[in-house]
Amino acid sequence: MKFTWFNLMPWPHLPDDFREKNRSVWVDIDQKLFDPVKSNAVYNTYLDLLEYADGLGFDGVGCNEHHQNGYGLMPSPNLIAAALTRRTKDAAIVVLGNSIALYNPPVRVAEEFAMLDCMSGGRLVAGFPVGTSMDTNFCYGQIPSLTREKYAEAHDLIMRAWHEREPFAFNGRYNKLRHVNIWPRPIQAPNPPIHIPGGGSVETYDFCIDNTYSYSYLSFTGYIRAKALLDGYWRRVEERGAPDKSPYRAGFAQTICVADTDEEAQRLYEEHVLYFYNRCLHVYPGFADAPGYRTIKTIQSGALSQYAPNFSFATLTWKDLVEGGHVIAGSPETVRQRMEDLITGLHVGNIFCLMHVGNMPAEKCMYSTKLFAEKVMPKLRNMFPEYKDDSRFWCHPIGSRAKPGSLPDARELAAAGGR
């Protein structure tokens, strides 16, 4: 199993009446609610927490890309990842990912991911999302019905940039480049492992299967509701004639809160979980899906039923969220049992553990993270022994990695000067 400690980096200071006074946490969120001075502490705490997770033995630390969003303070995940290369030691740096249709030209992604891989000594796991409609269309202005074509071209360009060893010309529809020749290139050859976040687009299943990429379902609705979607994915893996059904072909994001007892979990975490589901997911429905962003096939598949007009996270209570599996919370034993259900039920080998939730303060987050790392994770380690050697979907760091802070000390410097 691969456990990645993931932080969405929510803004923790949304007011109590946020829902009532604002139409959306995303796209046109009120500028006045962001306080740059306070953000200095917020960013540093979030980076500290990611580093803390590395120290506790999580397999990966993760970040992602969102724009104009009150629950995701990472318009540039690569900046966060770059900061993480310095003070984390062993964890994979999982950038999930860069919305490649948004970069102009997309060789920028090939270059920055290469830099991250080189700086981290081959610890990069690269993600290529299409991006939500909020990010891609409404914030970054991409034409909805052309977004996927542009994404596909960006993908081809990035892969060629990584794979080819001679300068080449790329005559795309959206990118015309006479001399593609990225410098540096990634340590991991021919390319870092690739995870594709998807939200139920059937085309994305095939894309992952055909390219041996891991399909990641990143939802906030939990593992019980995810069953139908991932069952569809595994059916497709079979239909498409993939050579195996390795659980590492799939990943899943799950909100997890651990305490000594189930009661303590509610007492400690309820307000932060409700902050997330009430305020952070308050998205104006007009921004959810620009017409043309989803393919007709996907709409017809009915995978979007969660967008039914009467569905709202805001009406859900702690009890609903825990029983419905949106959140896995409780004692280490409760969490272990439910995680086991998740892992076997969805048949997933990559878990993105959302352990910082809403406006959770650092000490609670550390407490929950430590309990998970020490009392839950070890018991889930060997869930898929038959696939334990499947390394296709994870990074391959070099053996001897450079250490930060290894400049010569003052004496050596003086000696060098004296020569």
Partner 1 sequence: MELKTIAAPRVPVRYYEGGSGTPLVFLHGAGGIMPNDPFLAALAKKYHVYAPLLPGYGDSEECPEIRDMLDFTLHSWDVVDALGLKNPVLAGHSMGGMIAAEMAAIAPHDISRLALICPAGLWLDDHPIPDLFSTLPFEFPQLLFHNVEQGTALLTAGMAVDDPEWLKGFLVTNARQLGMAGRILFPIPDRGLAGRLYRIKAKTVLIWGDGDRLIVPAYAHAFRKGIAGSELVVIPEAGHMVTMEKTEQVVQAIARLG
Q: Which residues bind partner 1 (CB under 8 A)?
A: 27, 137-138, 141, 143-146, 149, 284-287, 290-296, 299-300, 302, 304-305, 308-310
Q: Which is nearer to partner 1, 172 or 292 (CB)?
A: 292
129: tokens are 């999302």
For partner 1, give the closer residue by CB, 310 or 406: 310
Q: Residue 192 phi/psi, 5° resolution?
A: -65, 155
Nearest-approach distance from CB 139 to partner 1, in angstroms: 10
> Least distance in Å: CB of 266 to partner 1?
34
| Complex with partner 1: residue 44 or 305, whichever CB lies closer | 305
**DSSP class of 288:** S
In this structure, the strands spanning 124-127 and 92-95 are parallel
CB of 287 to partner 1, least distance (A): 5
Q: Which is nearer to partner 1, 57 or 75 (CB)?
A: 75
C-beta of residue 252 within 8 angstroms of C-beta of residue 352:
yes
Q: How far is the CB of 70 from partner 1 (least distance, A)?
A: 17
Angle between helices 36-55 and 362-371 (to 10 degrees): 20
Give the distance between the most distant pair of CA atoms in the chain: 77
Nearer to partner 1, 137 or 246 (CB): 137
Instruction: Identify the burial level of 302 via C-beta atoms within 10 angstroms of its C-beta, where 0-12 means exposed, 13-18 middle and 19 or more buried.
Output: exposed
**CB of 176: closest distance to partner 1 in angstroms?**
15
Name which of 4 and 137 has its Cβ closer to partner 1. Answer: 137
- CA 199 – CA 217 distance, rounded (Å): 6
Query: Distance between CA atoms of 89 and 112, rounded to whole angstroms?
Result: 20
CB of 27 to partner 1, least distance (A): 8
Sorted by sequence, the CB contacts under 8 Å of residue 235 that are 6+ apart come out as: none
Tell me the C-alpha distance between 58 and 377, whole Å. Answer: 9
CB of 141 to partner 1, least distance (A): 5
CB of 230 to partner 1, least distance (A): 21
Q: Extract the tokens encoding 4.
A: 């990645």
Instruction: Show the tokens assigned to 344.
Output: 């076997």
Pick from 171, 120, 137: which is nearest to 68 by CA?
137
Of 324, 358, 323, 333, nearest to 258 by C-alpha is: 333
Q: For partner 1, which is the closer residue by CB, 299 or 398?
A: 299
Indicate the residue among 101 and 250 with the shorter CB distance to partner 1: 101
| Residues β-bridged to residue 194 | 126
And the tokens for 203?
A: 């085309």
Measure the CA–CA gap between 231 and 101, rounded to whole angstroms: 28
